[in-house]
Chains A and B, each alone.
Chain A
Amino acid sequence: MRVNANTNGGAHISWASAQAKSAEVKGYPSFATRNQGFFSRHMRRISASLPRFDGGGNARYAEKEKLQRGRWGGGAGRWSGVMGRIGRMVWRMRLRFAVLFGFLFLVIAFYVTPLHRIYRRASFLGGGSKFVIIQAANLGGGVMEWKGPREWAIERDSLKNKRKYAKKWGYELEIVDMSTKKRYAHEWRESWEKVDTIRNAMRKYPDAEWFWWLDLNTFIMEPSYSLQSHIFNNLARTTYRDINAYNPLNITHPLTFPYLDAETRSPIGDGLASSINIIVPQDCSGFNLGSFFVRRSVWTDRLFDIWWDPVFYEQKHMEWEHKEQDALEHLYAAQPWVRPHVAFIEQRMINAFPPGACGEKGEDPRIHYREADRDFVLSNRLNRNAWERIKDWVSDSVKAAKEKRKEKQEKKNEKKDGEKGGLESCGYDCMGAAFRWAMHPKSILHFWFRLYFLYCLVLQGKDALPRPFGGASPSPSRASDGLLMPVYLRSS
Chain B
Amino acid sequence: MWRHRGFSALNISGLAVGMAAAFLILLYVGFELSYDTMFPKKDRIHMLVSDLKTPSDSYQIPVVDWSVLGKITPRFPEIQSSTRIVDMNLSIQKGTENFVEKRSLAADSTFFKIFDLKLLEGDPDEALRAPLSLVLSQTGAQKYFGSENPMGKSLKIMNGKYTAQITGIMQDLPKNTQIQADYLLSLSTYTKVIDPTLDESWGNYEPRGYVLLSENVNTKNLVSKINTFLEEEDGEKMKAANLFIKQDLELITDVYLYSTRIGSGSANINNIYIFGVVALFILLIASINFINLTTARSVERAKEVGIRKVVGAQKNQLMLQFVGESLIVTILAYILGIAIATLALPYFNTLAGQEVASGVFANWSYVGLFFAIALAIGLAAGTYPALVLSSFRPVSVLKGKFSTTRSGTFLRKALVVSQFTVSIILIIGTLIIYNQMHFMQSQDLGFAKDRLLILDIDNHPKQQLLADYLKKNPNIISVGKGSTVPGGGGNKSSALSIMQNSQGQDQTLTVDRYIIDDKYLDQLDIKLIAGRNFSRDLASDSTQALIINEKVVDLLGYSNPDAAIGASFDQWGREGQIVGVVADFHSESLQKEIQPLSFVFDTKQTKLLTLKVAAADLPETLAFVEESWKQFLPDTHFDYYFLDEFFDRQYRAEQRFSNLFLNFAVLAIFISCMGLLGLASYSTKQRRREIGIRKIVGASILGIVNLLSKEFIKLVGIAFLIAVPIAWFSMHKWLQDFAYRIEIPWWIFAVAGMLAIGVAMLTVSFQAIKAAIANPVKSLRTE
Instruction: Decide whether A and B are members of one complex.
Output: no
